[in-house]
């Protein structure tokens, strides 16, 4: 059985900076076997791109919606596309 790679791009808004949110996303995505990246945006949001199986990406979204004990997620914008297997790990990138 071949699992088709899917790509998820999301922007998470709310109280998500300065609360360990990027590290939480990186750890969660890595644990789920996903690849991609997460970074802060100057707007105060957190942006992420993740690739892997649809089921694992859906699970990551559930975790991101819940956030950490110190974060408050108020909005989550998602875009789905076909995965291109562009990444080898899940990284934290500099703010953009």
Which CATH number does the domain housing residue 47 bear? 3.30.70.100
Q: Is 31 a catalytic residue?
A: no
Q: Residue 88 to residues 5, 31, 85, 94: CA-CA distances in angstroms?
A: 13, 14, 8, 18
Q: Residue 74 to residues 20, 44, 65, 67, 91: CA-CA distances in angstroms?
A: 16, 12, 9, 10, 24
pLDDT in tens, 9-35: 999 999 999 999 999 999 999 999 999
pLDDT bucket at 83, cuts 50 / 70 / 90: confident
Which of the listed ranges 1-15, 43-57, 75-89 does the model predict with the highest average pLDDT?
Answer: 43-57
Residue 63 domain-assigned (yes or no): yes
Query: Exactly one of 40, 54, 65, 75 is catalytic; which is it?
Result: 40
What total of structural domains would you count in the chain?
1
The pLDDT value recorded for residue 3 is 62
Residue 18 domain-assigned (yes or no): no
Residue 34 domain-assigned (yes or no): yes
Residue 67 domain-assigned (yes or no): yes
Residue 84 domain-assigned (yes or no): yes
Residue 56 domain-assigned (yes or no): yes
Residue 9 domain-assigned (yes or no): no
What is the average pLDDT score of the chain?
94
Query: Exactly one of 22, 54, 65, 70 is catalytic; which is it?
Result: 22
Q: Is 40 a catalytic residue?
A: yes
pLDDT bucket at 1, cuts 50 / 70 / 90: low
């Amino acid at each position: 059985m071949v699992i088709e790679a899917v790509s998820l791009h999301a922007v998470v808004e709310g109280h998500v900076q300065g609360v360990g949110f990027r590290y939480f996303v990186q750890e969660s995505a890595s644990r789920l076997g996903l690849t991609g990246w997460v970074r802060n945006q100057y707007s105060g949001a957190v942006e992420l791109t993740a690739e892997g199986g649809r089921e694992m990406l859906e699970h990551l979204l559930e975790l991101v919606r819940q956030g950490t004990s110190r974060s408050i997620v108020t909005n989550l914008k998602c875009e789905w596309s076909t995965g291109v297997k562009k990444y080898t790990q899940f990284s934290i990138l500099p703010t953009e």
